[in-house]
Structure 1
Amino acid sequence: MNLRYICVLVLLAAIAAPVAAKVTVLPLGDSITRGDYEGDSANGSWRYYLAGQLDAGGFDVDFVGSTTFPTYTRFAFDQDHDGHGGYTTGMLLSYGETEPLKAWMAAYGPPDVVLLMIGTNDALLQVPLADRLRNLRGIVAELRGRSPNVRILLAKIIPTADSARNAQQIAPFNAALPALASELSTPASPIAVVDQYGGYDGAADNGADGIHPDRGGMQKIAARWYAALTPLLSAPGPTTTVPPIILPTPTPLVVPGGTGSAGDPNDDGLCEDVNGNGRKDFADVVLFFNRLDWCAGHAPWAFDFNGNGRIDFADV
């Protein structure tokens, strides 16, 4: 038995080591989550600005999703997402003969957190509010079916440049979200509402179409997500200390020749069996350290295992 390896393991157990804290985050929604349609866009997506904030904050996050479209060429970041242009709340669940959300999530592991911002296309198409809320219940059920302990951040959708649409279609939808979140939230899978509506100017913060965010709008959205997401993440650079192994104090070594004296069970001239119990085991390491002075003072016993002329730590 090589006692050196046992001792090294004991010493390593007391060293504080970093703990992996990577969290998988699914950006889920429509074209506002996707971002600009063109791959060479100068604005990109709010996902880019959120990724930059998370990186600067030292958080280890892995965006997941079934697509990277349109794969921005001017922005280097984790581009996985499930933001699909034109989708309504109902289309996430059923589109033709497909179940899009279920199919998308089959392409990656269960997400830890979902950033869900959906409902703008419902507002444009004037989908009845009751239908939208029913669809959201289905989306939550689908997410939990894939990831039972998923944490869901549900966004109040941003306003458009059309004040009448905001008042008639968007504001009522947003107003219903807190009660829905409270109804569906569970201890294992909490749902929190993130206000992306308040403080967002549907005219100034959106692009020319008055619906999709420009760069400033994307940055506002990213900042709101960041504030809501970071409390769910581990503190940057966490460490943990593994407690050292504590063994009982060994029986004192008896002088050579007595019962329990150091022994050489394999007759190689080296007394590895320090406690004389007939085995070369971990207890010999402990006893060697506790009786190092005694070992060094008993030259007849060959404790100098490495032959360097000294009885020291290197012999272990």
Structure 2
Amino acid sequence: MQKPSSKSFAKFALIPIVIFSICILACDNEGGTEPKAPSSSINKILPLGASRVEGDRPAYESYRYELWRMLTEANFTFDFIGTETDNASYPSFNGLAFDRDHEGRGGITSGGIRSGLSNWLNELGSSPDIVLFSSPGGNDGINDYEGSFANINAIIDMLQANNPNVTILIELTAPPLVAEQSTEFLTFYNRALTDIAALAQSESTATSKVIAVDMRTGFTDNFLADDVHYNTAGGRFIAERYFQQLESLLER
């Protein structure tokens, strides 16, 4: 299948304004000053994205804690990896402490991820087996959508070059509040969902699956803490969608 044209991704233009304008209020952390020890675990999972990955308890949630609970309860051996560490308070589960590592940076653009990814992977010292690519292009604003599309492609290419066997789960982004969804927005948003799904197919290789994960269907205002960020129920909803995919992908 041919990749969607970069022109089609210009239709993505209004999504970042409405969905992710709040994200720019969050800090774009630079990560820890000391490199983390490389992970030797099976099922190394890299949560990658912006503020919906990072979270900001108690104001709003990430999906990461609920996904960690689900995978732990299912007795998977796994390791969340990333150069960032979540310092919020989380309860233990089954006698285990929450795995706080991630690569979510509030306000970061696709260009920022593209620029930083090589260094982050080098700092980790071990390649992810699974990447959870959240809300691709979500903070890019209305300028240069050909560039945004090129960045998303480049990020996937970089991850596959780092590990030719990596599996990438790329989100079909959950929407903002209904009150923020104009007719024009919905036209662009629906087009973008189609294009991202096609991109996942075209970027998949014989050894590296790129899987589009539908975060839109069933997502309602009841899952939002503000215009765009998840509350506890929203974080759980996103985690459940990821878990449904990971159950058949993770090694035992």
Range into which the TM-score falls when normalised by the shorter chain: 0.7 to 0.9
Question: What is the distance in 2 between the residues matched to 1:166 and 1:198?
Answer: 17
How do 1:77-226 residues align onto structure 2 when only pairs under 5 Å count? 77-93=98-114, 99-108=115-124, 109-117=126-134, 118-122=136-140, 125-161=141-177, 162-164=180-182, 166-201=185-220, 203-208=221-226, 210-226=227-243
Aligned pair count? 203
Please state how far the C-alpha of 1:131 moved relative to its aligned partner. Answer: 3.1
Amino acid at match of 1:81: H
How do 1:162-311 residues align onto structure 2 when only pairs under 5 Å count? 162-164=180-182, 166-201=185-220, 203-208=221-226, 210-235=227-252
Given that 2:109 and 2:139 are in contact with CA atoms closer than 8 Å, whether structure 1 keeps it comes out as yes
Question: What is the distance in 1 between the residues matched to 2:76 and 2:248?
Answer: 11
SS in 2 for 1:121: coil
TM-score (structure 1 length as normaliser): 0.60
Amino acid at match of 2:165: N
Please state how far the C-alpha of 1:196 moved relative to its aligned partner. Answer: 0.8
SS in 2 for 1:155: strand
Given that 2:61 and 2:229 are in contact with CA atoms closer than 8 Å, whether structure 1 keeps it comes out as no
SS in 2 for 1:106: helix
Given that 1:42 and 1:74 are in contact with CA atoms closer than 8 Å, whether structure 2 keeps it comes out as no
Deviations 1:146-200 (A, max 9, x none): 2221111111111011112741543322220121111110011111110011111
Deviations 1:232-257 (A, max 9, x none): 1124xxxxxxxxxxxxxxxxxxxxxx
Please state how far the C-alpha of 1:42 moved relative to its aligned partner. Answer: 7.5
Given that 1:88 and 1:119 are in contact with CA atoms closer than 8 Å, whether structure 2 keeps it comes out as yes
Distance 1:166 1:25, change over 3 A: farther
Given that 1:43 and 1:214 are in contact with CA atoms closer than 8 Å, whether structure 2 keeps it comes out as yes
SS in 2 for 1:153: strand
How do 1:20-31 residues align onto structure 2 when only pairs under 5 Å count? 22-31=42-51
Given that 1:114 and 1:151 are in contact with CA atoms closer than 8 Å, whether structure 2 keeps it comes out as yes
Question: What is the distance in 2 between the residues matched to 1:158 and 1:126?
Answer: 19
TM-score (structure 2 length as normaliser): 0.75
Please state how far the C-alpha of 1:34 moved relative to its aligned partner. Answer: 0.8
Please state how far the C-alpha of 1:107 moved relative to its aligned partner. Answer: 1.5
Given that 1:126 and 1:169 are in contact with CA atoms closer than 8 Å, whether structure 2 keeps it comes out as no
Amino acid at match of 2:118: K
Based on CA coordinates, which of the two structures has the bigger radius of gyration?
1
Question: What is the distance in 2 between the residues matched to 1:199 and 1:127?
Answer: 30
SS in 1 for 2:151: helix
Given that 1:44 and 1:72 are in contact with CA atoms closer than 8 Å, whether structure 2 keeps it comes out as no
Deviations 1:112-149 (A, max 9, x none): 01000123223xx2245433322111001111222221
Given that 1:25 and 1:62 are in contact with CA atoms closer than 8 Å, whether structure 2 keeps it comes out as yes
| Bigger share in helix | 2
Deviations 1:213-236 (A, max 9, x none): 11111110000010011111124x
RMSD (CA atoms):
2.0
Amino acid at match of 1:139: I
Amino acid at match of 2:112: M
Question: What is the distance in 2 between the residues matched to 1:107 and 1:28?
Answer: 15
How do 1:45-56 residues align onto structure 2 when only pairs under 5 Å count? 45-56=62-73
What is residue 291 of structure 1 aligned with on the other side? none
Deviations 1:277-313 (A, max 9, x none): xxxxxxxxxxxxxxxxxxxxxxxxxxxxxxxxxxxxx
Identity %: 31
SS in 2 for 1:194: strand
Question: What is the distance in 1 between the residues matched to 2:108 and 2:171?
Answer: 16
